[in-house]
Amino acid sequence: MARTEVVVLGSGFAGLETAFRLRARAGEDDVGITVVSDRDDFLYRPGTVRLPFGAAEAPLHVPLAGAFRRRGIGAVIATAEGIDLDRGQVHTSRGRMAYDRLVLATGAASRPEEIPGLAEHAHSIAAAGALHRLGEDLRWAAQHARHGRAQRVLFALPPGNQCAAPLYEVALMLDTWLRRKQIRDGVEIAFDTCEESYVQAFGPKLHELVSRQFEARGIEGRTAATLAKATERSAVFADGSVREFDVLATFPPQVASVHYSGLPCDERGFLRCDPLGRAVLGRPEVFGPGDAGDFPLKLGYLALLQADAAAGAIAAQRRGTTLSAGPSPVVRQVLDLLDDAAFAQIPLAPGDDPARVDESSSRYWVSTGAFWRAGARLAEAALSARFRLGLPFRAGSGWGALGRAPGRTRPNTDNLVERP
């Protein structure tokens, strides 16, 4: 049988897990894999929330050249510019490449321009550079507060963002950071979200947990507060209310990083995919795992699950087998609070809405405790180590570290079953 040439665009969670998982399933004689990315490393984005509070950025970057060499995976540093579906070619800034199977794992980008003034007056938490700048402004705010000039820091989550949790994380971390500096009294923290409940995508238990945290920490939160406009010092909401601020932080609306013409997508450019193996609808040779796809929740955790599904589907196509659905996925999320941590295990319900929380499930639970920080850092270290070696994360023991607490361990299950 001729070798299947697989081209993977993107070196994030989804692209790398797909490439490494596929290589673990098939040798070089069977499947040729080439990763095309505009960067030569992997950035562990969940860790970037610590940057405003003095954490170093370098450990979040995992070099990939050795991993690709070790696993016989081709690597091209280039920008993907488009695809020719009829010819089976990708157009990149360094020329064209032919593929038999194409994995579009180019993720999501921010579009702050959807809200007037947001790009000019708010700090985005979407990129590492912007988080460093947020840290600089927070240090100034802390300095002013120390000198008796009261400060207001506002967090605003606008519509169109599908990854709310990290903004809550930064707000809660800020509270701890200010307390440690003994200047918390000089800084008001407010959190306005367009959601109907806090971290709405994760259901009522997360709402209750965040409400308790906000109350205990003196963070003034509002739900159903839709940001309409930002000016230099004030945020204007759809209901006409106005909040003054000294520092405004946001996670802007998201869109697909790359628009691939000829492929079906939703109104934000996210690829319409078959939930089972993440093949793009009507295009069984093209896959859209991770943030690039239309799953209404953008998480690294889900990107890994979807990447495994895509790798499984590509391997199954080569073998002539088919996939059928296993149990619905269970999401795990840690909110780092610097002094403490909150953990949520969120089972998703089967049915038409892929991101509906199964609220009645006994597997739906939340918990707080500093040990969750340790679990999250262990999972982070394990993922970096596995990617450095060119190995898929989910096949390793580190995957289970996220969500392991005495008496509550339950390994996450694959959401796919391969059948001959």
Ligand X SMILES: Cc1cc2nc3c(=O)[nH]c(=O)nc-3n(C[C@H](O)[C@H](O)[C@H](O)COP(=O)(O)OP(=O)(O)OC[C@H]3O[C@@H](n4cnc5c(N)ncnc54)[C@H](O)[C@@H]3O)c2cc1C
Binding site for ligand X (CB under 6 A): 9-15, 36-39, 45-46, 48-49, 79-80, 105-107, 125-126, 163, 166, 257-258, 290-292, 298-301, 303, 333
Q: How far is the CB of 115 from ligand X (least distance, A)?
A: 18
**Cβ closer to ligand X: 37 or 151?**
37
Q: How far is the CB of 42 from ligand X (least distance, A)?
A: 7
**Cβ closer to ligand X: 202 or 237?**
202
**Cβ closer to ligand X: 163 or 201?**
163
Q: How far is the CB of 78 from ligand X (least distance, A)?
A: 7
Q: How far is the CB of 241 from ligand X (least distance, A)?
A: 27
What are the structure tokens assigned to 214, written together?
A: 């906000």
**Cβ closer to ligand X: 75 or 189?**
75
**Cβ closer to ligand X: 118 or 183?**
118
Distance CA 170, CA 158 (A): 16
**Cβ closer to ligand X: 36 or 255?**
36
Q: How far is the CB of 390 from ligand X (least distance, A)?
A: 16
Q: How far is the CB of 420 from ligand X (least distance, A)?
A: 30
